[in-house]
Amino acid sequence: MISRNRYEGFLLLLALSGCATPGASKLDYSPPKVPDVHNNEVSIDESFDVVWDRLVGRLATGFFVINNIDKASRLINVSFSSDSPENYVDCGESTRKFSYQKEEKTYVYNVAQDSAYKVASTWGPNNNLPNIAEVSRDASLEGRINVYVAPQSSNETKVSANVKYILRVTTTGTGVAFNAFGTPVQQFTVPSSSSDVSFTTGESGSKNWGTGGSGDSVTCRAKGTLEKSILDMARL
């Protein structure tokens, strides 16, 4: 017969060594598929004054914030923000695979889009006990646009739009820590963290996000949607 002290010591050793198998998480990242934007200007068969007044009027009633207007320099600077970055930029796609005990899930999402997933890690004295967290990602986009309006002749005006984008992803979450027998022992909060990447019209932007956000290295490109909307405002 095993004494009580020896039995309790056995349980402690069992707990430290860990019988419960930790979960597993895997992340794969695919870069954006859209090409870099090159068509960000248009020539309009109207005078400079007509195009300028139309564009300023429409920008003032849109979702843009006008920061500066300088007709002598032919330059308009506006700001924008969006909670739906996927409409304007392509930052690739993440595929996360999660497994713990009998649960297996695959999460596929656009990096520039809100998403949620489960992730497995470990904890404990020997860092071998299961940790399971549910993580939420909130993506947002902001930036500035320089709009240049230049007369080419008395009846022709060129308009170009160059955008500086900043994509930001904030992650939050909650988790559960398990003991060696697979029993939940405590809940915890995943520390909030933010990752961002900046880029411009016609140029990709890449940044190492480490273990936060959506992967180690993220690349973003403009879809051209925002540039097109500015050029359309200048047209009749």
215: left (phi over 0), alpha (psi -120 to 50) or beta: left
List per-residue pLDDT tens for the chain, 236 residues long.
Answer: 444 444 344 344 444 444 678 999 999 999 998 887 778 999 999 999 999 999 999 999 888 999 999 999 999 999 999 999 999 999 999 999 999 999 999 999 999 999 999 999 999 999 999 999 999 999 999 999 999 999 999 999 999 999 999 999 999 999 999 999 999 999 999 999 999 999 999 999 999 987 544 557 899 999 999 999 999 999 98
Note whether 231 and 41 are within 8 A (CB).
yes
* Tokens 């411009």, residue located: 200
Domain limits, the chain: 4-234
Predicted local confidence at residue 19, as pLDDT: 60
Distance from C-alpha of 112 to C-alpha of 87, rounded to nearest angstrom: 9
Q: Which residue type does 174 have?
A: T
CB-facing half-sphere around the CA of 33: CA atoms within 13 A: 5
DSSP the chain: ---HHHHHHHHHHHHHH--SPP-EEEEEEE---SPPP---EEEESS-HHHHHHHHHHHHHHSS-EEEEEETTTTEEEEEEEES-GGGTEE--EEEEEEEETTEEEEEEEETTS-EEEEEEEEETTTT-EEEEEEEEEEEEEEEEEEEEEEEEETTEEEEEEEEEEEEEEEEEEEEEEE-TTS-EEEEEEEEEEEEEEEEETTB-EEEE-TTSTT-SEEEEEE-SHHHHHHHHHH--
What is the CB neighbour count within 10 angstroms for residue 20?
A: 17
Residue written as token pair 């405590």 = 186
Provide the residue type at 206 as one letter: S
From the list 44, 29, 50, the residue with the least C-alpha distance to 111 is 29
The pLDDT value recorded for residue 70 is 97
pLDDT for position 117: 97
